[in-house]
Amino acid sequence: MRDRLSRVKTIPCSNWGHLTGWLLVPAIVLLLWAGAARAQDDLIVTHGVSTFGELRYGPDFQHLDYVNPDAPKGGEMSFAWSSGSFDSMHPFTREGRPAVLSSIFFESMLEGTADEIGSAYCLLCESIAYPEDVSYVIFTIREEARFSDGTPVTADDALFSYEIMRDEGLPSFRAAIGRTLAGAEVLDERRIRFDFNPEAPIRGRIVSAGGLTVMSRASHEASGLGFSEARLEPLVGSAPYVLHEVEPGQRVVYARNPDYWGADLPINRGRYNFDRIRIEYYGDAVAAFEGFTAGNYLFRQESSSANWATSYDFPALERGHVVKAELPDGTITSGQSFIINLRREKFQDVRVREAIALMFNFEWTNQTLFYGLYEWNDSFWQNTDLAAEGLPSEAELALLEPLRDLLRPEVFTEEVFSLPASDPNRTLDRRQARRASALLEEAGWLIGDDGLARNAAGQTLDVEFLNSGPLFDRVINPYVENLRAIGIKARLTRVDSAQMTQRERDYDFDIIIDHLPMGYEPGSGLRQYFGSQSANDSVFNAAGLADPAVDALIEHVVSSETQEELNVAVAALDRVLRWERFRVPQWFNNTHWVAYYDIYRYPEPLPPYALGFLDFWWSDAEAEAALREAGAF
């Protein structure tokens, strides 16, 4: 993910992870924390759920282990965004481009943590109740829960939020949630019941319902707007932050609500410490970096290896005003890749896709452009135990054999697909070029007298890389030259952020750079990334993958009831996806590159699954005063 334009890490323990307004349906199996749940009127009542093991935190926990419960409140966290502009504060529709963190206003019934995988605890709700067969779940909303306008959060608001997201939200979300939830019913002012589709796997049911955003019905009705319309006045939520200032395309500032209802909840102690969160928008990454050196914003998560290796020598750092640090990152990789659009007829032949992939020289790119700081991002589940390895195991074969007629034979006969290493000392690896040329010829693309590959109809093989920022030019341009060397008519087209967004939404591209962020316990969200039903209406399935074998394997993943079953199903899916060769993997780094003016503090050690700079870091008022006195910013 590192050289994607100024991407901000997802925060697993907060709804703020929806940085671009995308809403995924989590999938977590239900097991009980020993001693925490109790039977009541034939229902199991508990404070949290976990996937395959015990919850880390019991019903009487005082705060999360990784926070500083005494962290001071105050100050401002500020960072930059250079991946395009914004014109909306409404993250749940395809209309408009939402601001970074535009889902910061909202909470859900359940909340995850940054030191566990597959656990969720009551946030808006005070309890979770369900029968043994998990045919439904009842959330009882905390009596003290309030929206930011002071009105109570009610079961009717939760019902409204579910129904309007189901009927008018993002298409991929509507498709996914419909498979799990059959409907919802208000039982009384504070209790809402969600009924599950009987065919939906138990794993994922409760958290699919508990992870739904809750918005104020009254605020939507008062807006006079349709839910799908972009807006700069956000809907009202119950979360710690409210909108303070918005200048479309330039700046957005969120302020901590001093009357936030949940400030003293154990799950919130030591969190949400900044009075303000400010995001400064820049036209490109170069300008954003200059803004940091000038002190226009104070925290930077570096995404450029070139900057990290060569640019941190400015006066503020030399004077000790800025801290440069590499902090541990235990999270799964973001799946950053070049994505090939399978909707294009010219990319239907897998040999063409493999030929294109072979011409990307990661080793040369890493050594020459990235100072050797990255690793190859091979698996969809890189850096986890879920990645496929070698030949399929017996357990994998049990899932793959029934699909043999739908799968490529290599899935069974060869080790999991991985691009071979290229020559790091030259841009064009001639061995790879020969292999790629042979694949093109086998696929019917023959080199003419002009050096261009043409098919039987005389058409050239045109490949356009679509990108909206200059940061990737140095990566894409050598790749384009390599493709041209084997007869492919490749080019880089740069567009502005608005055009980029529209063309992505219209699937009007050959190859783009995108992320495929998978989870440690993947479930129904996989349908949005790889499912046939999402191929032409999901913002996540950029490749347009529509494969019945993949669909079948996704269902095996979703229905897994043990960790062993899940590991096998994910490995089989990873194996099949990699043999489809619809992406060219890029790179990852197992540390967070951060630089910040020396006013910020964080608890040590950091939790394994989040950097948490917006969540549980805090500002040192004395240090800030000293740096201001020194003229650092």
- Series of mean pLDDT values for 10-residue runs along the chain (633 residues): 29 36 34 43 91 91 98 98 92 90 98 94 98 97 98 98 92 80 97 95 89 97 94 97 96 98 98 98 94 97 92 96 94 93 98 98 96 93 93 98 97 96 96 98 97 97 94 95 98 93 94 94 90 88 97 95 94 98 94 97 95 98 97 93
Could you tell me what percent of the chain has a pLDDT over 70? 93
Amino acid at 382: Q
How far apart are the C-alpha atoms of 570 and 387, rounded to whole Å? 7
* Helices assigned H by DSSP within 267-393: 285-293, 305-310, 315-318, 350-358, 362-369
**Residue 214: per-residue pLDDT:** 98
**Residue 1: per-residue pLDDT:** 31
Q: Rounded to a whole number, what is the distance in angstroms from the first to the last CA of the chain?
A: 29
Give the closest residue to 23 by CA, choosing from 245, 214, 205.
Answer: 214
How many other β-carbons are positioned within 10 Å of the β-carbon of residue 431? 11
**Residue 17: per-residue pLDDT:** 36
- Phi–psi pair at 162, nearest 5 degrees: -60, -50
Give the closest residue to 107 by CA, choosing from 208, 188, 210.
Answer: 210
**Residue 33: per-residue pLDDT:** 37
Residue for token pair 């964080």: 602
The tokens for 131 are 């029968």
Classified as helix, coil or strand, 526 is helix
> Where in the sequence of the chain do the CATH 3.40.190.10 domains occur?
23-223
- Phi–psi pair at 378, nearest 5 degrees: -85, -60
CATH code for 337-587? 3.10.105.10
**Residue 203: per-residue pLDDT:** 83
31: which DSSP letter? B
Classified as helix, coil or strand, 505 is helix
| Residue 187 near residue 193, CB atoms below 8 Å | yes
How many other β-carbons are positioned within 10 Å of the β-carbon of residue 506? 8
| Residue 51 near residue 253, CB atoms below 8 Å | no
> Where in the sequence of the chain do the CATH 3.10.105.10 domains occur?
337-587
The tokens for 438 are 């042979």
37: which DSSP letter? -
State in words which class domain 23-223 has.
Answer: alpha beta
Characterise 126 by phi-psi region: left (phi > 0), alpha (psi -120 to 50), beta (else): alpha
How far apart are the C-alpha atoms of 86 and 97, rounded to whole Å? 5
**Residue 41: per-residue pLDDT:** 63
Amino acid at 572: A
Amino acid at 215: M
Q: What tens digit of pLDDT does each residue of 404-426 get?
A: 999 999 999 999 999 999 999 99
| Residue 18 near residue 173, CB atoms below 8 Å | no
**Residue 40: per-residue pLDDT:** 55
How far apart are the C-alpha atoms of 168 and 155, rounded to whole Å? 20
* Helices assigned H by DSSP within 194-252: 205-210, 217-223
